[in-house]
Structure 1
Amino acid sequence: MSDWNERTIGDVAAVFDGPHATPKKTTDGPWFLSISSLDQGRLRLTESAHLSEEDFTKWTRRVTPQEGDVLFSYETRLGDAALMPEGIRACLGRRMGLLRPKRDHVDPSFLLYAYLAPQFQAVINSRQIRGATVDRIPLVDLPSWPIRLPSLGEQKAICSVLGAVDDKIAVNERIAAACEALLQLRFAELGMADEPDDSQAVPLTDLITFNPKLKKPSAEEPVYVDMAALQTSRAGIPSWSRRAPKSGPRFMNGDTLMARITPCLENGKTGYVDFMGDEEIGLGSTEFIVMRSRPGVPSELSYFMARDARFRAHAIRNMAGTSGRQRVSAADASNYLVNDPDPTALGDFGQQASSAFAHMKSLEGESRTLATLRDTLLPQLMSGRLRVKDAEKFVEDQV
């Protein structure tokens, strides 16, 4: 790394943070970026909220995020960051900061990769302030923290290699999102999202069961999914681990996991289970409800029902509990009428959904492999141990 120089964050970027408060969230308008928006180096707008134009003006008095800014969390989820894309109107939320690159010293994408690399992650770990409830980055000190950089030309070459992998992951995500959007239209054509006609209305429980009973998992440490793992779209399966929780709803492949608490239900957090063995039984957080299509009904129907705005509005109306942690029960969620779908149309939907979900799962698997490749190359390139030309040849064989 002889041609790499140690600089400070303040040498190569300006540091900003957002307001230390949370505005009222809305269903549309400018984006409100929170720590949930950060996902291992990527910005997830699907995990972000909106705010009003009036609040947007207030929340951007200090800084307005712009294309090329490196967004990061300075409390709780330390070390995560993402690059601000172009064409997005957004403000910073609580616990969010940004680095505005000085582009005559650092390429914005390289600054993101340098932030995520093990070398700077070690700096964060050693210099963070550890609190009784949350750890944090002292923003007043951050400009003095060291960071190593090569020449701008070398920065751009490294970004070209890593960016090729990230671009392919982004393409996969766009394809998966398009598949889901098309299936949403096919689901709407079934009429189940419409107000039910009295002559065609049937209880939703004729088609879907809620929290179906399953035997105890045989594995000592079964698959476990917690609330944080659920996404707001199919373009990303729930992450999972293996542990031995004392209790929780049981599920198997083909089931849908729907959030039953605020604000996750309003945000549409939902997960479709297709990542276990055929006979395997998993356990999950008590903060979601398991939905399973009845025999003869496409398993994917439960997923799109859980994602349906009218159904979620029904569930939200039936929430009970404290204002900060309201829940909906399986009984209240299932107390719902829908138009009985035409059997032929339902069968066609099932065939399309099954094929599309299989394709999305394949894309997700490829993206995970690519992410592993990127995470393997990142520390090698950022330390100078791997030459760009060697990395380029390796990436060409994989992408």
Structure 2
Amino acid sequence: MTGATVDRIPLTNFPGFEIFVPSLGEQRRIAAVLFAYDDLIATNQRRIALLEDAARRLYREWFVHLRFPGHETVTVVDGVPEGWARKTLGQIAPLKYGRALKATERKDGQVPVYGSSGVVGNHDRALVDGGAIVVGRKGNVGSLYFSPEPCFPIDTVFFIDPEASTFYLLQALSNLNFISSDAAVPGLNRNYAHLLSLLVPAGEVAASFETLVAPLYSQAFQLERQKKKLARARDALLPKLMSGQLDVSGIPLPQPEAA
């Protein structure tokens, strides 16, 4: 609209706009294509959840209920098996601050940018190598992510160096309460978090746990990558399908399920 401070289209003009409306058959074929992508994405998500649940159950069996291999012959004193120890998070894996990186400062690349809600974008360089645990500091306080590839944690999160980021630690952190009742401002206080107590298993038990759950997480990471590729492919197809740019006439119409 000319003469307006903000570009807009008067409502009176809307009835005169021509829009492309596919036939009912084409609409059903388009829906079938999109549903196929959504179904694959949902299937991958269910498989990821099952793999993560298997790792979580094993953690609870070994380190909460203390039914780890050989537990029958190990003495437990005050909840700590012989040869194990209790240490603070600060002693085991100090939290490091992410770095500010506004959306306008990010450059096109394949490096995932992590905020407290997970991956919030991409960048052309990493702040930390792959295999790091990311912990929400502001917003989604205490949220946990494991980045298998090099990543860029921003200033709303902490991260733990890959050398200390084990799958055991990831599970142990998920059982901690990161919210301090004394905090005046909502957020994760690093000094408070560093004082939280963790059970440190004997070396051979910790190594056995990593050996068992690493393949589970490896499968989950692969499925997550596939899920993102499927979502990108679906989103790229959508405008072409809706505009009629892609011919769907050769796609069989979905048949109604028998009653």
Q: TM-score, normalised by structure 1?
A: 0.47
Question: Partner of 2:132 in structure 1?
Answer: 255
SS at match of 1:258: strand
Q: Distance in 1 between matches of 2:251 and 2:39?
A: 16
- 1:210 lines up with 2:84 in the alignment: no
Question: Partner of 1:241 in structure 2?
Answer: 122
SS at match of 2:52: helix
User: For the Cα contact (< 8 Å) 1:212–1:292, is it kept in 2?
Assistant: no
Aligned residue among 148, 159, 171 for 1:304: 171
Offset of residue 256 of structure 1: 0.8
Letter matched to residue 269 of structure 1: S
Change (3 A) 1:190 1:198: closer
Offset of residue 260 of structure 1: 1.6
SS at match of 1:191: helix
Q: Distance in 2 between matches of 1:193 and 1:290?
A: 28
SS at match of 1:388: coil
Q: Where does the alignment leave 5 or more consecutive residues of structure 1 unmatched?
A: 1-125, 129-141, 214-219, 231-237, 277-281, 393-399
Q: Distance in 1 between matches of 2:155 and 2:48?
A: 28
Equivalence map 1:1-399=2 (5 Å): 148-191=20-63, 197=78, 199=80, 200-211=85-96, 223=111, 225-227=113-115, 229-230=117-118, 238-242=119-123, 250-262=127-139, 264-265=140-141, 269-276=143-150, 282-292=151-161, 299-308=166-175, 311=176, 313=177, 315-317=178-180, 320-322=183-185, 326-390=186-250
Change (3 A) 1:286 1:355: same
User: For the Cα contact (< 8 Å) 2:112–2:121, is it kept in 1?
Assistant: yes
Q: Distance in 2 between matches of 1:225 and 1:319?
A: 31
Letter matched to residue 137 of structure 2: R
Letter matched to residue 225 of structure 1: V
Offset of residue 203 of structure 1: 2.6
Q: Which has the higher contact order (CA 8 A, sep 6+)?
A: 2
Offset of residue 358 of structure 1: 1.4
Q: Distance in 1 between matches of 2:63 and 2:168?
A: 12
Change (3 A) 1:391 1:378: farther
Deviation sequence 1:114-151 (CA, Å, 0-9, x none): xxxxxxxxxxxx769xxxxxxxxxxxxx9xx9865333
Question: Partner of 2:101 in structure 1?
Answer: none
Offset of residue 172 of structure 1: 0.7
Q: Where does the alignment leave 5 or more consecutive residues of structure 2 unmatched?
A: 1-6, 67-76, 99-105, 253-259
User: For the Cα contact (< 8 Å) 2:130–2:162, is it kept in 1?
Assistant: no
Offset of residue 390 of structure 1: 4.8
User: For the Cα contact (< 8 Å) 1:261–1:288, is it kept in 2?
Assistant: yes
User: Percent identity among equivalent residues?
Assistant: 22
Change (3 A) 1:319 1:385: farther
User: For the Cα contact (< 8 Å) 1:192–1:338, is it kept in 2?
Assistant: no
User: For the Cα contact (< 8 Å) 1:229–1:240, is it kept in 2?
Assistant: no
Change (3 A) 1:228 1:150: farther
RMSD (CA atoms): 3.8
Offset of residue 253 of structure 1: 1.2
Question: Partner of 2:70 in structure 1?
Answer: none
Offset of residue 174 of structure 1: 0.6
Q: TM-score, normalised by structure 2?
A: 0.68
Change (3 A) 1:346 1:318: farther
Offset of residue 163 of structure 1: 0.9
